[in-house]
Chain A
Amino acid sequence: MGSHAQLSSQFFGDLLDSIIVDVASECHRIARLGLDRNLEEEEEELRLSAQARVRVADPSNSGEANSKYVVDIFGQTHPPVANEIFDCMNCGRSIMAGRFAPHLEKCMGKGRKARLKVTRSSTAVQNRYSQGSPVSTYSPYSNSTSTSRLSNGTSSGAGEEYSNGTFQEP
């Protein structure tokens, strides 16, 4: 190896070593000051979970009051009134899910107007239950040939079930 080449190589080596010391010194500083920990994922996780714990423990964050803006574990928000739309099996109208119970009350006869509707039940049944009783025109003990359209295929017998409880056993 020519002397120039040797000298150059040696000088390059010294430069490199000097830069290595600089990098080591900087990393030493970062390690001792804990500056690197900010990038670590587990630290991030710990911080996020601590934040979440604070939020849960805070009494002003009760679910009911803020349900408009509360986010569930999948990150979804839900409107305070369920807004899926389907058809009422009684009258066939399109109803919003969150408004179904009040609709059903009217539709099935709790309300004054509903009782005036022409139904498939025999008029005898209608007359029997028409005096101020909150019971609908669909009696479970009906001897009519009609089947209740609300019953999802079960024939009329004792105790048909209506999920939002507007139907009362006589």
Chain B
Amino acid sequence: MKTSINRPPTPDAEEDQDHQPTLQEIINIKMIESGEKERLKELLRERLIECGWRDEMKALCRAFARKKGRNNVTVDDLVQVITPKGRASVPDSVKAELLQRIRTFLTSVSI
């Protein structure tokens, strides 16, 4: 059966034992544990729906599926199709709002 998702191989456990968590990873953990990551993701999702971004992405996917044939489409295909446009077309106001929230969080956890 054709796979429709490419998964990177699971990393071996032993290699990471001396590993110091990066700042990035620390923030990620704090974000998840406090529930802020979930809230931020929901906020971003809502804003992207409101401004029509999601509809645009769905239209791109539909067009691609029609061209390639809907049974030949993989999730990776669609991610590749919408990532460049998706990253570039987030409204500035939405990006600013999210960045502001993230910065506030960073300050609040003294990073």
Q: Which residues of A contact B (CB under 8 A)?
A: 3-5, 7-28, 30-32, 34, 36-37
Contact = CB atoms under 8 A, between A and B. Distances in A.
Contacts of B58: 23, 26-27
Interface of B: 4, 23-24, 27-28, 31, 37, 40-41, 44-45, 48, 54, 57-58, 61-62, 65, 70-71, 73-75, 78-79, 81-83, 86-87, 90, 95, 98-99, 102-103, 106-107, 111
Contact of B75 (A11, A17, A25): A25
Given A4-B103, A7-B111, A15-B40, A24 B87 contact: no
Contacts, number: 98
A20 B71 contact: no
Given A11-B27, A31-B65, A19 B82 contact: no
Contacts of B99: 5, 8-9, 12
Given A15-B41, A31-B73, A7 B65 contact: no
A50 B37 CA distance: 51
Chain B interface, DSSP helix/strand/loop, else mixed? helix
Given A27-B61, A27-B62, A12 B41 contact: no
Contacts of A25: 75, 78
Given A12-B99, A16-B44, A21 B31 contact: no
A36 B78 CA distance: 15
B37 to A, nearest CB: 8
Nearest to B61: A27
